[in-house]
Amino acid sequence: EIVLTQSPGTLSLSPGERATFSCRASRSVSGNYLAWFQQRPGQAPRLLIYGASSRATGVPDRFSGSGSGTDFTLTISRLEPEDFAVYSCQHYDTSSPLTFGQGTRLEIK
């Protein structure tokens, strides 16, 4: 099983700042089959990024993904008030059971 470890656990920032989230895999994720989700309290997850760097439909271009192999990053270039939420990564390399990271909470500083 590929274990995904996200850091930091909590990120405290202000609107307008840049946010960077890390997702590290215990072994290489083939095909860059890595996705990022946003989840607000009481809501279902929202797909932001798939294929490590492709934005999902309707996702603003302030969200970007990068990385390959075992190290992946989600960046929000300039935080808006609605961006404060929990962010989770997921691998969908079907050579291994599908797993999610434990999540990073983005809170208002």
Partner 1 sequence: EVHLLQSGGGLVQPGGSLRLSCEASGFSFSNYAMTWVRQAPGKGLEWLSAISPSANTRYHADAVRGRFSISRDNSKNTLYLQMDSLRAEDTAVYYCAKNLAEGLATYEYWGQGTLVTVSS
Q: How far is the CB of 15 from partner 1 (least distance, A)?
A: 26
Place of tokens 């072994």: 27
Dihedral through CA 62, CA 86, CA 104, CA 80, nearest 10? Answer: 30
Does residue 29 touch partner 1 according to CB under 8 A?
no
Q: Read off φ and ψ for residue 36, nearest 5 degrees.
A: -125, 140
Q: How far is the CB of 14 from partner 1 (least distance, A)?
A: 26
- State the residues that interact with partner 1 by CB under 8 A: 33, 35, 37, 44-47, 50, 56-57, 88, 90, 92, 94, 97-103
